[in-house]
Each structure stands twice: as C-alpha cells, then as structure tokens.
Amino acid sequence: MTTNNRGETVLYCAVKHIDVVKYLINERNCDIMATDILGYTPFHCAADWGTPEVVEYFLSTDNCDPLAKDNEGRTPLQLAKNRGYNSYAVIAIFKKFGDIKISHPIDSYVSVLLVGNPVAGKSTLSHVINDTATGSIVLGSIRNVGGVVPCTAGIIPYKLQHRTLGNIILHDFAGHSEYYSSHSAVIENLLQGSGGVFLIVVNILEREAVKQLHQWLTVVRNEAQKALNECHVIVIVSHVDEISNPVERRRREEIQEIISERCDSFFLDCRKLGGSGVDSFFNKLSSACESIRSTSGRNLSLYCHMMYGLLEERKENILTLSDVMSAGKDNYVVPDKREEVLDVLYSLQSTGLISVLKSKDKVWVVVNKGILLTEVNGILFAPKTFKEHVDIASNTGIVSMSGLNRLFPKYDPDMLICFLKNMELCQELDPSFLRMTNLHQLAVGEEEEGGRERRGERLLFFPCLLSTDRPDEMTSEVYQFGWCLQCTSKHHFFPPRYFHVLSLHLAYKMALPQEDDKLNRYCTFWKNGLYWFNGHGVGSLVEIVDESQCVLVMMSCEKGYSDNMVSLRRDVIGEVMSVYKESCPSLEVKELVIDPKELAYPVNTPRERTVYSVKAVLSAVVEQRPFLVTTGTRRTELKEILPDESLSNISNLSLLGGRDIKEVIEITEEFKTQLTLIKLDIKDLDTVIIVLTSDQHLPCAVWRRLGLQLGLYDDRLMTIDTDYRGQSVECFHACMSAWLRGEDKVREKGGPSWSSLATALDTIGEKFIASYIRDKYCNPSS
C-alpha cells in the first residue's frame, strides 16, 4: 500500500474516524501492525491520539500487539497512559480486553478423549484426573478413588482448569458397542478445529484385551488421520496390580510389543489417585497437551473471548442467533453484522467449547455441548441394560418426531434433527419411501403392538438403531457380479460408523424413489447390509461381512439390462471408496473382484472364494493382455471376469468407480499414450452431431439409450423427453449437449471423450459407428 515520506499508510491518518478505519481494514486489508520510519504502528497512533472507538476496534481484531515497541521503546499501552485527553477511557478499554482474555482463555483448551471397553477403568481414570485438577490431592499418595459410577451413559465432558495439565476438556466416552457409531461422529466433530489427546484404557485381566486394543487403535487412528492437526495417543493398561498368572504376564508382554513402536503407554492401577506410573502418566499427558497448544495455530480474536464471556453469562444452554445478537452489550463488544457474528461463533466452535447448528431458516448456539452429548447421545443410543435406555426405535431404526419430542420435550425438535443430521447419525425419511422398504412392515408391526401412529409424521432413520438380521429371502438372490473392499491386516476392521454413513449415502443417492417411479424401487435394510432394485433391471447389495473386515458389493440384472448394471456398479463402487476415504483413511485395504462362477450367496468370507486383484485386472486391461495370470499355470480371460463390460474405454471402467486410473495403479511410460484421451466439451457439439448423424447416419431415436450409457441419469433423460415432447431430433441434441457439459457427474466418471462415446455406441449395438470413431479419433497413430 502507498505510504508518505514518513512511511505511513492512510490508516495512520484515519484513527479518529471509526467508519474509515473499518473500511480500510475490512475492504482494503490495511495492516494494523505496519511500521513507519519511527517504528510507529497505526495502533500506536490510535493509542496516542485516536478515538476510544478506534482503539477498541483495533483490539477486537486481535491482530495488534499492545506491547509492540517503536524505535524509542514505547508501547501503545504506554502512549495511552500518557495521552493528554480521554486517557482514562482508553486505559479502561485496554483493561477490559485484558481481563476478558484472562478470564476466558478459550484458545488454551485441549480436548482429551478417554475411550475403551466397559469395565476397563475409564471412568475411574476420569475421576483421578478430575480429583487432581485443583492440586488438593498429592499425586503420589495411594488412595482409592471413590464415587465412580460403573457405566457411563453416552459421553460425559468435563471442562477443567487442571494444575498439571492446564485447561482441558475431558470427554469420558461410554465403552458399550451400542455407542460406537455415535462416538465416532462426536470425535470427528470435536477434532474439526484442532488436534486432541486420545487416552485408550485396556483392562489387562480381560481375555480379549489384545483384540480390544487393536480395535480401539484402529478407531483412534482413523479419527486422528482425519483431524486437521496433530493428535497424540496414550495407552493406559489398567489392573496391572492384579496380574497373577503366566497367561496374564504373556498378555502384558504382547500388549507392550504392540504399542512400543506406535504410541506412549503406561501400565498402572488407575483405581488409585497415586501409585506406580500415575505421576509419569500425568507428566506425559501434560506434555502432549502442551504440544497440542503450541501447534494448534489458533489466532482467536478478542471478539471470540468476548463472545464466550457473553454466552457463559446467559442462563440458557441453547440460544438462537437472534438471542445472541440481542444479548446485552454493555460489558462486551460484539459485531453488528449477522455474518460477522457467525464467523466469531464458528471460530469458537473450532475450540470444541460450543456447537453451532444451522438449518435452512435458523441458527442455534449450544453453549454447553456436554448437555446434548450426555442427554441426547447418552439416552438415544443407550444399551438395554442401562437405566437410561428407551426403546424409541424398536429394531427398525425409525424414530418419529413425536417420539423424539416425548423423549426430549425441552429441546426444539428442529434443533435436535439438525444436531443429529450434522453428525451423519440419521436422515429425515419421506413416509412414502418407508412404505417402499422392509422397515415399513416392521414399523406396522410395532404400531399394532404399541399403538403408535406414524401417518403424516416426520420420520428419522438411524442405521445404528437398526438391529434386524438379514431377511431369509435375501439368500435366494442370484448375482452376476461381485466386488469387495478387504482389510489387509487381520487387526483392522471397518468401524460401525463407516457402514452407517455409507448406507445413508446409498439409500438417499441411489435407492430413494423418484416422484415418477415410486412403485419401481424397493429397499431392504438390515443391521449390516442393504439391497435395492432400481426399476431399470438391476438389483444391488452392499453388506459388511467377514467380521467387519470386508465391504461386499454384489449385483444382478434382468436379461438385456447388463449395460445398466455396469453403469450403476461404477457409481456404487465410487460411493464405497469415497466414504472409505472420508471415514477410515488409515485402514489398509485391497480391492477384489469375485470370480463370476463363485457368486453363490451369502458370501460371508469373500477372501475364501476365487478373487482377482482389481489392480491386476486394470494392469492387464491397460497392457491389452486378454488373460490374467494368477499362478504359473492358472489363467483367466478378462472377459470372464468382466463379461458385461467393454474394456476399450479404460478411463471409464466400472472398477475405477469414477477415479482416475493413475490413483489405482502405476502407469508406465510405455502405456501412457493409450490413456491420453481426446477430451470433448460443449464447443464440440456441432462436430459430434455431424459425425454421428450426417456422416454415420445414427438414428436420433436411440438418444435415450445412448444417453444412459454416456453416464446421464435417467431422471435427466425423462426431463428432456418431457421438455421436447418426445421429438427425437431435439431430444438427441439436448442429450448430447448435457453430456458435453458434463452434467450428472459425467466428468467425475472420466469426462466426455471420443473414446467414451465409442464405448457407449458399442454397448447399444452401434458397433460399426463405434469402430469408425475409434479408428479416426482414438487411435494414437492416426
């Protein structure tokens, strides 16, 4: 920015005019801490002779340093004390801002996440951390912990100002499996803005202790890898004072070997406030918390500190945005604009202290997330053995709005739905869709038994509350295609949340009936799988099998509809892989195709069938090898593995699921030429139309079949048919235009190209035109 001969920007001269200052900072990005030739900053000028409003505004941005020194060693605070007028008012502003930051040190809080199986000792360790917070207990003293509730319901958060650990928010997670899916959702939410410290507690006396440790390490690593900042993992092995036999001693050695190279560990009796290892544990936890603080990169404005102070003074736990903006501002400076207030609230949310929930028409601020986490999660997903358990969904996973209101009468139902949907625990369900599923029969049975009325009600579907086993009739299905995503480590598994999120995505993206074909689709859900028939001749199944180590995808099609099956499996595989990358990126997996001759269902352990590596299949396709050699003597023709698919358009193969082939296999220089496709876009519309209709005389009447094979959705094709009243020429032009514009995620499936056009023509039987296009436009030597 331009400066005068003293090195001053225009901001120096504006410190008596608050509106000009706001404009220069917000619109022109003027630097508050820029220095002139004397070392003065604009903030020095404001403190020296600017208005109190400008000083207050500068401080609220948190981009200025009250103790920055000029060339003579003077700070803005010193200049404020020595100014000739309004000195008292300006000093009061400095003091107010300083007091607020000290009383609400929000940027120093670290999330500590305490997880483990039931009876591992989590809640006891939580009490130890709580009881030592003020320093009234000597850590080295050996004294039993009292007042521990045996079973935690949901998640209990504690906001502590701990003498050893500093400011922390300790989250004690219930260990029962019914909570695991919602726990993952909450952890993901807590780690969106910063890292955290995971404490995994394992009871060494448990026979399954090693397995439990592997399971929790898998879950924790998944969530830690998704976090924006570094996370620390500490394993606490409890009840070591009760080890009494060689088996338990060997178990201790095995656990020590597992965690020695991966994370810090402590073997201790966490039922006591002191004792062997407890002091060292606190030192390590303190070091981890300090590391999180130093690397968090938070730069929260004083607006955030003020906002949190304002929220804490309110007695209500849940406020609307209107409540926040109309709150008293006598003691706090709060932005005037709605967007600026939202920005401050979202910054606060990143600390884990509050939650901001936004629906279409309303915004809520949850001041104490602990209440929602404890009450809603704790009650909604409580196991049957808990006193908190309420049978709100029976075994259907369907929760009515009235049921939710009865359970949580003091909460705004729209806020609750927003809270649950934000964490991808549920989706709102159209009653017409419910009638298209097996859940309808289950719900009807429930109504007959319990007298509940669902007609006309808003309904929510919670996959994690669905406990129905696979229906017997599913075993009679015959499939033509099988694919799976298999964990490569015997200790890895797909966490429950993975399938719950995946089933919501699949049900609402691919299986949800459209307005014009409500009666053509049917969904069947069970606790670890779903099946749907899409009305276009294709049945699809997705299921978690092999003790949660494998995602199975199987498909069947009616005679003459294999092209529809190929198109759909590309989308389903793409969705499976997309949710995998989002939900559990730390899992090591491999993609496999099941031999078409070994698709007898159920397929509980796909790895025991004849399977082919997707990487090997794709490499064979790229290298134009007609056979896949699996052993020295065994070979299988590629056409047997993928009998319904054209292998000429490599970038559009269904096994890729819309990914670039280079993401799946390494392509050598020798074969890169084959993958260099001539891309098309809307400017090529006239050329494509001329080639197809004038040069090759393709009948326009095939437009709908061709559009489907090019990757356009059937809904779009039906709209085109309606808009142009079935006129084949106009429909053909509109279809090709939509394809060349990349509608319906065509670009994510490889994009418009001469090669993909040739493949689509091949599929609908126009092989002569397909060959012509390949020879003229796809052959690298032509």
Q: How do the domains of the chain map onto residue ranges?
A: 10-103, 106-295, 302-349+354-371, 391-466, 472-672, 677-778
Number of Cβ atoms within 10 Å of the Cβ of 701: 12
Give pLDDT, residue 135: 55
Q: Which residues contact 448 (CB under 8 A, 6 or more apart)?
A: none
Q: The tokens of 69 are what?
A: 């020194």
Element at 601 (helix H, strand E):
none
pLDDT at 385 over 80: no
pLDDT tens digits along 72-92: 999 888 888 888 788 888 888
CA atoms of 511 and 518, how far apart (whole Å): 11
pLDDT at 330 over 60: no
State which of 140-154, 585-599, 757-771 shows the largest mean pLDDT.
585-599
Strands 166-173 and 155-162 come out as antiparallel
CA atoms of 708 and 505, how far apart (whole Å): 22
Q: Which residues contact 279 (CB under 8 A, 6 or more apart)?
A: 139, 140
What's the CATH number of domain 677-778, 1.10.10.10, 1.10.3720.10, 1.10.533.10, 3.90.1150.10?
1.10.533.10
pLDDT-derived band at 769 (thresholds 50, 70, 90) equals: very high
Which of 239-243, 360-364, 418-422 comes out lowest in average pLDDT?
A: 239-243
CA atoms of 562 and 280, how far apart (whole Å): 63
| Residue 181: Cβ-neighbour burial (10 angstroms; 0-12, 13-18, 19+) | buried
Give pLDDT, residue 679: 75
Mean confidence (pLDDT) of the chain: 82
Residue identified by tokens 């299986």 is: 511
> What is the third-level CATH fold of 472-672?
TATA-Binding Protein (3.30.310)
Which of 148-152, 310-314, 499-503, 713-717 comes out lowest in average pLDDT?
A: 148-152
Q: Are 240 and 204 in contact (CB under 8 A)?
A: yes
What three-state secondary structure class fits 245?
A: coil
pLDDT tens digits along 698-712: 999 999 999 999 999
What's the CATH number of domain 302-349+354-371, 1.10.10, 2.70.98, 3.40.47, 1.10.238?
1.10.10
> What is the third-level CATH fold of 106-295?
Rossmann fold (3.40.50)
Q: Which residues contact 38 (CB under 8 A, 6 or more apart)?
A: 6, 70, 71, 72
Q: Which residues contact 52 (CB under 8 A, 6 or more apart)?
A: 86, 89, 90, 93
Which of 521-525, 684-688, 765-769 comes out lowest in average pLDDT?
A: 521-525
pLDDT at 467 over 80: yes
pLDDT at 738 over 90: yes
The candidate with the shortest Cα–Cα distance to 709, out of 568, 609, 553, is: 568
Phi, psi of 144 (to 5 degrees): -65, 145
**Omega cis (within 30) before 602:** yes
Q: Which amino acid is at 540?
A: S
CA atoms of 269 and 204, how far apart (whole Å): 11
> What is the third-level CATH fold of 10-103?
1.25.40
Please give the distance of CA 590 from its chain centroid, rounded to a whole number: 22
Strands 110-116 and 196-203 come out as parallel
